[in-house]
Amino acid sequence: MAVLTLALPAGLICAESKTLYLRLAELHPSDHPTSKGDREFARQVAELSKGRIQVEVYDNGVLGDELSVMEQLRFGAIDLARVSIASVQPFVPQLAALFLPYLYRDDDHLWKVLSGPVGQQLLADLKAGGQIGIGWFEAGARSFYTARTKLQRASDLVGLRIRVQESPPMVRLVETLGAKALPLPFPNVYSGLRTGALDGAENNLVTYYASSHYQVAPFFTLDEHARLPELLIGSPLAFSQISQADQALLLQAAAAAAVTQRAAFQSYEAEIRDKLVTAGVTFFEPVDLASWQARARRIWSEQTPQVRELLERIRNTQ
Ligand code: BDP
């Protein structure tokens, strides 16, 4: 994948038109529903600001993998990014609450949490970790998929080399299930699965399809162990040059874009099931889901008091 790094000052303002240009980094290809969400965010920003603020979406990972994007945000070479919470949690430890396995009743429960007081508080908490939280996006449920092994029982995972995000809570989750967790940047996963360096990986169905991982790992187990939402975040440097009113405008645009992104994500997810079967993917329902849940939930008791408090608030969200 070509990596283009822009060493330009943050939040470029065109002197003549006074237009503020903001660059947004996205890992996924243009046809991924999350990239569509980014473009909807850009459209909303342009509309709300009457063209005064222009968000330029750089998708397909051209600005680098997520950890490199986090770094570029820090020194202001990129203004905005859509990333997984996995990339942000190292700066905001309490985000670990959102990684807890088998936490939500369903996707609506997750969104009640994100759009309610817990979600608002976590967005505000990002500031203390030196991050600017703008809004949440949908990322479905993550499940395991494998290249050669048919995975149905939780015990089938024991000893498998599974790629995880470069994220301590994800390493811990996969280890708790008995697998060997290998943290790797996302762009390296396809070749790891193809060469046999990895036995499997885990992700949501949409990303499994969009990244073509199904070509090299055609067994997908619908265990849905975690729902990690995505974040739209901003560079603190860029934001220090944006007025409070315009910051509020960006948050408003993100909330509106999230509605479109979530709907696009869900309809795409429903569409690709058949395409994946036609492409030769075998889906497995987990056998004895209760034992998957019991094993994975052992992590719940390992959390800090702060995360356990969030866990209780999340469970009590109706
Ligand atoms: C996808 C997320 C992306 C992550 C990727 C991963 O959208 O932000 O980086 O998973 O597993 O679902 O690395």
Q: How would residue 10 be classed by pLDDT, with cut points 50, 70 and 90?
A: low
pLDDT at 19: 94
Q: How far is CA 243 from CA 15, 166, 236, 238, in A?
A: 17, 34, 13, 10
pLDDT at 17: 75
Residues for the chain: how many in total? 318
Contact 198, 182 (CB under 8 A): yes
Instruction: Report the share of the chain in percent with pLDDT over 90.
Output: 94
Binding pocket residue ranges, ligand 1, CB within 6 Å: 27, 66, 83-84, 139, 165, 186, 203-204, 207, 230
Tell me: pLDDT of 14 over 90.
no
152-191 pLDDT, tens digit per residue, is: 999 999 999 999 999 999 999 999 999 999 999 999 999 9
106-152 pLDDT, tens digit per residue, is: 999 999 999 999 999 999 999 999 999 999 999 999 999 999 999 99
Q: How far is CA 247 from CA 5, 24, 29, 185, 316, in A?
A: 25, 15, 27, 31, 31
**In a mutational test of the pocket of ligand 1, which residue from 137, 138, 207, 212 has the highest number of ligand atoms less than 8 Å from its CB?**
207
pLDDT at 18: 86
Tell me, in angstroms, the distance from the centre of ligand 1 to residue 28's CA. Answer: 8
57-102 pLDDT, tens digit per residue, is: 999 999 999 999 999 999 999 999 999 999 999 999 999 999 999 9
19-60 pLDDT, tens digit per residue, is: 999 999 999 999 999 999 999 999 999 999 999 999 999 999
Within a 10 A sphere around the Cβ of 196, how many other Cβ atoms?
11
pLDDT at 13: 77
Query: What letter represents residue 181's amino acid?
Result: A
